[in-house]
Structure 1
Amino acid sequence: MHDVYLSLGANLGDRKQALRKAIMALKKDSEISVQQISNLYQTAPVGGVKQDDFYNCALYLRTSLTPTALLVKLQQIEAAGKRQRKVHWGPRTIDLDILLYDNLKIKTQSLTIPHSQMHRRAFVLIPLLEITTGKLHQRTLILLQNLGDQQQIEKIGSVFDEANRVEKD
Structure 2
Amino acid sequence: MMLNKALEYTTVYLLLGGNLGNREENLDLAISLIGNDIGDLEAISSVYETAAWGKKDQPAFLNQAVAVKTSLAAVEVLQKALNIEHMLGRVRKEKWGERLIDIDLIFFGNEAINIENLLHIPHPQMQFRKFVMAPMAEIAPQMIHPVLGKSVLDIYKNITDDLAVRKV
Asked if Structure 1 and Structure 2 have the same fold, meaning a TM-score greater than 0.5 normalized by the shorter chain, the answer is yes
Give the aligned CA root-mean-square deviation in angstroms: 1.5
Task: Give the aligned length.
Answer: 155
Instruction: List alignment gaps of at least 5 residues for structure 1.
Output: 157-169
Secondary structure in 2 matching 1:136 = coil
1:112 aligns with 2:120: yes
Secondary structure in 2 matching 1:93 = coil
The TM-score normalised by the length of structure 1 is 0.87
Larger Rg over CA atoms: 2
| Range with greater deviation from structure 2 (114-123 or 102-111) | 102-111
| Map of 2:6 onto structure 1 | none
In 2 relative to 1, CA 105–149 (structure 1 residues): closer, same or farther, beyond 3 Å?
Answer: closer
> What are the equivalent positions in structure 2 for 1:75-154 lying under 5 Å apart?
75-108=82-115, 109-136=117-144, 139-148=151-160, 150-154=162-166
Q: Is the 8 A contact 2:43 2:68 kept in 1?
A: yes
Higher relative contact order structure (alpha carbons within 8 Å, sequence separation ≥ 6):
1
| Map of 1:18 onto structure 2 | 26
Q: Is the 8 A contact 2:11 2:68 kept in 1?
A: yes
In 2, Cα distance between equivalents of 1:128 and 1:136? 11
The TM-score normalised by the length of structure 2 is 0.87
Instruction: List alignment gaps of at least 5 residues for structure 2.
Output: 1-8
Return structure 1 stretches of 4+ with deviation > 3 angstroms: 133-138
Q: Percent identity?
A: 37
In 2, Cα distance between equivalents of 1:153 and 1:52? 14
